[in-house]
Amino acid sequence: MLKTLYWFTHDLRLSDNAALEYALKNSEQIAFVYVLDPSTKIANNYHSQLLGDHQTRFILNALQELADELNAIGHQLIVLEGKPQAVVSEFIEAHAITELVVAEQVGEYERRQVLHLKNTFPKVNVVQFWQHTLFTQHQIDKLDCMSGSFSKFRNKVEKSSLDVAKPTPSESTLLPEHLPKPTKIENNFVLLKWFESIDTSYLLPNEMPFFAGEHAGKYHLVSYLNSGAAKTYKETRNELDGWHNSTKFSPYLAIGNLSPRQIWHAVLQYEHSDGANESTYWIKFELLWREYFQWLSVKLGERLFAFSGLSDTKPLTSFFAERYQKWCSGNTPYPLVNALMKQLNATGYMSNRGRLIAASCFVNELQLDWRYGAAYFQQQLIDFDVASNWGNWQYIAGVGVDPRGGRHFNIEKQTELFDANGVFIRKWQGSAVGSQLDANDAADWPILSDVT
Ligand SMILES: Cc1cc2nc3c(=O)[nH]c(=O)nc-3n(C[C@H](O)[C@H](O)[C@H](O)COP(=O)(O)OP(=O)(O)OC[C@H]3O[C@@H](n4cnc5c(N)ncnc54)[C@H](O)[C@@H]3O)c2cc1C
């Protein structure tokens, strides 16, 4: 009997999920698993957890919805706890699995896990699908577009009018006439245990009302486009606060509640029905940034996390515990940065402009080793995505793909541009640090020459 294990990872959706479709069509019996790894909640060498509370909560809610959907068709989402490689191996052995179906990952360590399973179980057929990106591996290879900067990538993609495949319509995805037989286990309480373990006391969900799950993601996509905000996206995307100033697609993309293709085609449809302009183009432009970082992550492998990144030399920064702590808690001499960090800590979200400013401060003013900042963002962001986070941090630290060699934002100038009336700083209490301390600290902490 063909016994399939479908391993959900960053593809927590039932629609536009080619791997899932394949698995449903080709198995006689199927088990659906997701793995929660307790070691991701323990602070690592960079003093941060690999998975923080904001994204944990988001994932758990999405899993709950997925579990309900599967229950409704007589199946079960089996949530396992432990090191993914180990618990998936145990499951394969215990249930005599003959085929493992899993989406292709962009993170190096996730890719290695699947490779390890392939090597450990040569008799198990491992089937993988690309579904975290707009384009396929074949399209990217054929275009040979990953050997330079983002601009080169985008030019090649746009000039060749590279086709983004249409997403599978929702209604045709999940429910083939004859579903494979379910594999169920007893005492499937891991999800409940994790729900009970996360601390939500300090969260401000109303500030950034991200509701998890595929349905919520689809609803969010439609309501964003219906709001008309896409028409002015280019003008508003740099605002530091607000719900509709940018799309807020990122948390859904990060865990796969929405596929990039679903978003791309929804924007095309919107352009068709409501008219295209520079702003609607710019949403696609930003989705190409995401795309670029996804493929870059695959290309760089471990180097995505290396101190010197793509550079031959290491940055002249280091780790200073006090500066680091103050940056994390929003207690630096820079009110704008403090406000941004407090917003991040409370909501799990920070605008793209905010991320650029906070990261630039970390690397330039505070002269801290960028990897600690990237790791802290990883812990705090509700939309953490390995490729976008570590790729952007490398870029700002001057060890990434930026041909200009790093970005330094003048905090004063950024404050004038994006918070001239101090509304954002007041709202997030960016100045709520002893002023004496501010002045003294600021004198100690170098302000490098202005670049941006
Ligand atoms: C230091 C730093 C760390 C970041 N970490 C992450 C991360 O962990 N996860 C993440 O999804 N994004 C990350 N970004 C990129 C970007 O800030 C967020 O994608 C964006 O702010 C999310 O809000 P939005 O969905 O409203 O974006 P919008 O402005 O509405 O953009 C639409 C979509 O385009 C993509 N996008 C936009 N800007 C970028 C960018 N610079 N790089 C890659 N993709 C982009 C995202 O998928 C986003 O959802 C980071 C940026 C910086 C500077």
Mutation to probe ligand 1, out of 386, 392, 402 (largest number of atoms < 8 A from CB): 392
What is the per-residue pLDDT for 205? 62
Provide the CATH number for the domain formed by 134-171+214-302 in this structure: 1.25.40.80
What is the per-residue pLDDT for 413? 97
Question: From the CA of 447, how far away is ligand 1's center (Å)?
Answer: 27
Residue position matching structure tokens 């993609």? 157
Nearest CA, atom 16, ligand 1: 352
Question: From the CA of 286, how far away is ligand 1's center (Å)?
Answer: 8
Structure tokens at 386: 């390995």
Residue position matching structure tokens 């003959």? 98
What is the per-residue pLDDT for 442? 41
Nearest CA, atom 18, ligand 1: 352
Contact 373, 359 (CB under 8 A): yes
Residues with CB under 6 A from ligand 1: 237, 246-250, 253-254, 283, 286-287, 289-290, 293, 351-352, 355-356, 359, 377, 381, 383-385, 388-389, 392-393, 396
Write out the residue limits of the CATH 3.40.50.620 domain(s) in the chain.
1-132
Nearest CA, atom 44, ligand 1: 290
Nearest CA, atom 50, ligand 1: 389
Question: From the CA of 236, how far away is ligand 1's center (Å)?
Answer: 15
How far apart, in whole angstroms, are the C-alpha atoms of residue 20 and residue 101?
8
How far apart, in whole angstroms, are the C-alpha atoms of residue 216 and residue 214?
5
How far apart, in whole angstroms, are the C-alpha atoms of residue 358 and residue 373?
9
Residue (of 32, 27, 35) closest to 6 by Cα position:
32
Question: From the CA of 384, how far away is ligand 1's center (Å)?
Answer: 9
Question: From the CA of 355, how far away is ligand 1's center (Å)?
Answer: 9
What is the per-residue pLDDT for 169? 75
pTM of the model: 0.94
Question: What phi and psi, each to the nearest 5 degrees, are found at residue 375?
Answer: -70, -35
Mutation to probe ligand 1, out of 231, 288, 360, 383 (largest number of atoms < 8 A from CB): 383
Question: From the CA of 102, how far away is ligand 1's center (Å)?
Answer: 25
How far apart, in whole angstroms, are the C-alpha atoms of residue 205 and residue 56?
14
What is the per-residue pLDDT for 403? 62
Q: What atom in ligand 1 is closest to the CA of residue 356? A: 53
Q: How many CA atoms lie within 13 A of 382 on its CB side?
A: 28
What is the per-residue pLDDT for 144? 94
CATH architecture of 321-444: Orthogonal Bundle (1.10)
Question: From the CA of 387, how far away is ligand 1's center (Å)?
Answer: 10
Write out the residue limits of the CATH 1.25.40.80 domain(s) in the chain.
134-171+214-302
Provide the CATH number for the domain formed by 1-132 in this structure: 3.40.50.620
Strand partners, 52: none
**3-state SS class at 29:** strand
Please list, in sequence order, all residues whose beta carbon lies within 8 angstroms of the beta carbon of residue 305, skipping any fewer than 6 positions away.
108, 371, 390
Cα first-last separation, the chain:
62
Contact 328, 419 (CB under 8 A): no
Q: What atom in ligand 1 is closest to the CA of residue 286? A: 34
pLDDT means per 10 residues, the chain with 452 residues, are 95 94 93 97 94 94 95 94 97 97 96 97 96 95 93 95 87 67 90 86 70 96 97 97 96 98 98 97 98 97 94 90 97 97 95 98 97 98 98 94 81 97 96 50 38 36
Mutation to probe ligand 1, out of 149, 221, 239, 250 (largest number of atoms < 8 A from CB): 250
Residue (of 310, 264, 296, 303) closest to 283 by Cα position:
264
Please list, in sequence order, all residues whose beta carbon lies within 8 angstroms of the beta carbon of residue 3, skipping any fewer than 6 positions away.
27, 28, 29, 30, 31, 95, 96, 97, 98, 99, 183
Nearest CA, atom 46, ligand 1: 250
Is residue 5 packed enough to be buried (19+ CB in 10 Å), middle (13-18) or exposed (0-12)? buried
Question: From the CA of 389, how far away is ligand 1's center (Å)?
Answer: 8
Strand partners, 81: 36
Distance from chain centroid for Cα 421: 32
